[in-house]
Amino acid sequence: MAIGHRGSVRKRTLVLFVLILLVYVALAGRLAYVQVLKKPELEGWSKKIRFRKNTLYATRGCIYDRDKRVLALSIDAVSVYACRRELRNIPQTAARLAQMLHADRAAIERKLQNGTSSTIWLAKKVHPLIGYEISRGYRTTVRRKIKGGYKDVVVRERLPGIGVQRDSKRVYPACTMAAQVLGFVSADKRYNEGLERVQDELLTGADGLETTELDARRRDIPQSLRVVSRPVNGKDIVLTIDSTVQQIAEEALGKMAQTYHPRSACAIVLDPKTGEVLALANYPFFDPNSTTRTDPGLWRNRAVADLYEPGSTLKVVTVAAALNEGIGPHEIVTRCSRREKIKGGRITCTVHYPFTNGHGPVDMYKIIQYSCNIGAAHLAMRMGAEKLYGYEKAFGLLDRPDAGFGGEAVGYMLPAEDWRLIKLANVGFGQGINVSALQMAAVYGAIANGGVYVEPKVVREVWNSDGTVIQRFRHGTSRRVVSSEAAAELTKMLMVCAEEGTGKPAQIPGRTVAGKTGSAQISKPKGGYESGAFVASFMGFAPARNPRLVIAVVVNRPQGSHWGATVAAPVFREIGENALANMRVPLDAPLTPKPSPKPTAKPGNSKGLV
């Protein structure tokens, strides 16, 4: 019996030993699996929970005007988020956050309740002090036992699941000034406009990276901080814009808009010698600091992106071409009888007192002074389609400007071989060709610069973040389009226009002015013209004898009057008078110019352009 019991114990012991051995083999196999086969995966997982990678954000470069005044800069900000897995007591958390963020409690609670992603963004780009308060926790009062009784103590308790991330915010100190030029950076940094978009690669820079080791409560261990790569801040950009001249231009447009209520308007101020854009103003204005509350249509830089038929302001190209081709400035071109039929259509002149039946015999001076369509048409027909087309192209009207604004439109008209006679005549006085205001400003810049076309430019310098200049743009590319003699003769004609012709309202006391009015009907996309819809414009330069500024004013669909002389010329005068005074340019004319009566058109067909 004892022997049988002893054998049974041995068997059970052997079975137990085998079982224990199998357990140890299984544990050894599992250990080998974990330590060898799963080692890379588990090490990666441990690093994820043990270390945290923090982005070191690069500072976006600043944008300055020509005098180094700040137009756009980035300031410190924070963004507040919620980690969905760690949230506790959502209604109470929402109430606490609403108090700290000065936001709507119900809106925050809806975000916390309905959020589907692991990270829920609650506020973007708020003041750093708000983020500091949230990271410290909300203030609450607790009762604590002390010697002799209890005492209410103010403590701070952190909100579970709520975090703060360092961020930056783009700020435009001048608010609406040059808004369409500068553009903006959206809150999520994925949508830019204007120069912020065009120069984004230079402005952005490169973010850096640091790692920190975490404790058991996932808090950073300060001694473990290690920088992997340092951030490289974005480049700073210096523009050719003069903030003072820009403000003058915008104020002048704003005053005009109060009277004539246009759909849109723009004013451009150039240095004719260098092509530098000193001001480019668009109306209506908008504030790039609050783009979410503005109509996206206001963001468009219409001065460079919108095309229009320039009307009579384009007659300077026709006259400049004729002068350059050797036609005498005082040679009688034709006799204007107000209306004239030619093959394929009819040309009409809008006449003012004292002309009742047309302008009579006209030379180039009269074509410019009284804005004679028939005279300009005959000049065009005399030169022919191929030559006129060549001059339009030489003046930059059929190419895309490379001024640096972005979104710059290309002028358009049919090739010369497709022109009928009526088309040739129309182009001669500014119809049948579509251009931008910037292109027209450059045309007048070429006349002011003695016949040398200089491509407009808006970027002057590029700096490193330490202030060293890495790139400098002296001026745009240049080319001669007409002779200096032709440009000088045309300048005299434009001076007569401003002194005695349709441009009288543009006269500036103490300054010589050269310029031309325009009043063009707006064409329909499928042909023809809109009834009662006009673009009023005035373009010129001052002082006429030694040009310092070229000023182009274009007003789209003004109400109450559509004449360039009444709507656009006073804007030219105000910009020129104040800008030249600010630049301390000496006076070069009497302080009492001739009176400027408002032009009165003779009743009748108003398709002519003035």
- 307: phi then psi, degrees, rounded to nearest 5: -100, 150
The band of 73, judged by pLDDT with boundaries at 50, 70 and 90, is very high
Q: Are residues 217 and 343 in the same domain?
A: no
Query: Are 167 and 216 in the same domain?
Result: yes
* Separation in Å, CA 96 to CA 20, 76, 87, 103, 475: 57, 24, 13, 10, 57
Structural domain that includes position 432: 250-286+303-462+471-582
Confidence of residue 152 (pLDDT cuts 50, 70, 90): low
Residue 14 pLDDT greater than 90, yes or no: no
Contact 504, 596 (CB under 8 A): yes
Task: Let me know whether 274 and 399 are in one domain.
Answer: yes
Q: Are residues 235 and 254 in the same domain?
A: no
176 and 265, same domain (yes or no): no
Whether 521 is in a domain gets the answer yes
**The tokens 């009409």 sit on which residue?**
348
Token pair, residue 136, equals 């410290």
pLDDT in tens, 527-576: 788 888 999 999 999 999 999 999 999 999 999 999 999 999 999 999 99
- 134, two tokens: 């949230």
Q: Are residues 279 and 307 in the same domain?
A: yes
Percent of the chain exceeding pLDDT 70 equals 91
In the numeric block, which tokens belong to residue 9? 């114990």
Which 3 state secondary structure label does DSSP give 583? coil
pLDDT in tens, 473-530: 877 788 999 999 999 999 999 999 999 988 999 999 999 999 999 999 998 887 788 8
Residue 470's SS3 state is strand
Closest to 462 (Cα-Cα) out of 452, 470, 450: 470
pLDDT digits (tens, 9 = 90+) for 98-140: 888 888 888 888 888 887 777 888 888 888 888 777 777 776 6
Identify whether 596 is part of a domain. no
pLDDT at 593: 56
> Does a structural domain hold residue 69?
yes
Q: Looking at residue 207, which CATH number applies to its domain?
A: 3.90.1310.10
Same structural domain, 105 and 216 = yes
Average pLDDT over residues 66-93: 87
Q: Kindly state whether residues 212 and 260 are assigned to the same domain.
A: no
Contacts for 197 with CB less than 8 Å, ≥ 6 apart: 183, 406
CA 265, CA 575: separation in Å to the nearest integer?
Answer: 14
Residues 103 and 168 in one domain: yes
- The mean of the pLDDT values for the chain is 87
pLDDT bin (cut points 50, 70, 90) of residue 600 is very low
Q: Are residues 327 and 449 in the same domain?
A: yes
pLDDT of residue 148: 67
Please check whether residue 144 lies inside any domain of the structure.
no
Choose the weakest-confidence range: 25-39, 96-110, 337-351, 594-608: 594-608
Q: What is the pTM of this model?
A: 0.83
Share of the chain above pLDDT 90, in %: 54
Helix/strand/coil (H/E/C) assignment for every residue in 43-105: HHHHHHHHEEEEEECCCCCCEECCCCCEEEEEEEEEEEEEEHHHCCCHHHHHHHHHHHHCCCH
Is residue 585 scored above 70 in pLDDT?
Answer: yes
State yes or no: pLDDT of 605 exceeds 50: no
Q: Which of 310, 557, 349, 534 is nearest to 431 (CA)?
A: 310
How many folded domains does the chain comprise? 2
Reported as a single tens digit per residue, the pLDDT across 272-306 is 999 999 999 999 999 999 887 788 889 999 999 99
The answer to whether the beta carbons of residues 55 and 209 sit under 8 Å apart is: yes
**Residue of 534, 566, 519, 573 whose CA lies nearest to 551:** 573
Q: Which among 385, 368, 381, 371 is positioned nearest to 330, based on CA atoms?
A: 368
Instruction: Give Dmax (Cα) for the chain.
Output: 150
d(CA 185, CA 172): 10
My answer on whether 168 and 266 are in the same domain is: no
pLDDT in the model for residue 191:
66
Average pLDDT over residues 165-194: 86
Region at 89 (left for phi over 0; alpha for psi -120 to 50; beta for the rest): left
Task: Identify whether 65 is part of a domain.
Answer: yes
Q: Give yes or no: residues 414 and 519 share one domain.
A: yes
Q: Note whether residue 605 is domain-resident.
A: no
Q: Which tokens sit at 603? A: 């009743």
Q: Is residue 48 part of a domain?
A: no
Please indicate, yes or no, if residue 23 is contained in any of the structural domains: no
From 202, 217, 239, give the residue that closes a domain. 239
Residue 331 predicted with pLDDT over 60: yes
Reported as a pLDDT band with limits 50, 70 and 90, residue 219 is low
Cβ partners under 8 Å of residue 590, min gap 6: 509, 510
